[in-house]
Amino acid sequence: MEEMLILLKPDGMVRRYSGARALKSILELNPEIKFFEIIKPDKDFLAEKHYGEHKGKFFYDNLINFMSYTELAVIIAAGDNITEKVRNLLGKTMCEKADPLSIRGRYGTTKGINLVHASDSKETAEKETTLWKSIIKIETSKNYLEEMKKYISKYENFPMIDSVRYREISKALTDKEIEKGDAEKILKELLMRETDFEEDKVKELPALITENILLG
Ligand code: ADP
Ligand code: MG
Tens-place pLDDT, residues 80-116: 999 999 999 999 999 999 999 999 999 999 999 999 9
Task: Indicate the residue among 105, 126, 155 that finishes a domain.
Answer: 155
Residues 119 and 62 in one domain: yes
Residues 188 and 117 in one domain: no
How much is the pLDDT for 212?
98
Q: Is 4 in the pocket of ligand 1 (CB under 6 A)?
A: no
Do the beta carbons of residue 142 and residue 57 sit within 8 Å? no
Whole-number Cα distances in Å, 140 to 34, 35, 120, 148, 196? 9, 9, 27, 15, 31
Residues 129 and 105 in one domain: yes
Residues 75 and 171 in one domain: no
The number of the ligand nearest the C-alpha atom of 216 reads: 1
How much is the pLDDT for 129?
98
Task: Indicate the residue among 155, 183, 205 that finishes a domain.
Answer: 155
Q: Which domain holds residue 124?
A: 3-155
How much is the pLDDT for 1?
87
Residues 66 and 86 in one domain: yes
117 classed as catalytic: yes
In ligand 1, the atom with minimum distance to the C-alpha of 67 is: 16
Total domains, the chain: 2
Tens-place pLDDT, residues 177-208: 999 999 999 999 999 999 999 999 999 999 99
Residues 18 and 102 in one domain: yes
Ligand 1, atom 17, lies closest to the CA of 112
Task: Indicate the residue among 108, 123, 155 that finishes a domain.
Answer: 155
SS3 at position 214: coil
How much is the pLDDT for 133?
98
Q: Is 215 in the pocket of ligand 1 (CB under 6 A)?
A: yes
Q: Is 112 in the pocket of ligand 1 (CB under 6 A)?
A: yes
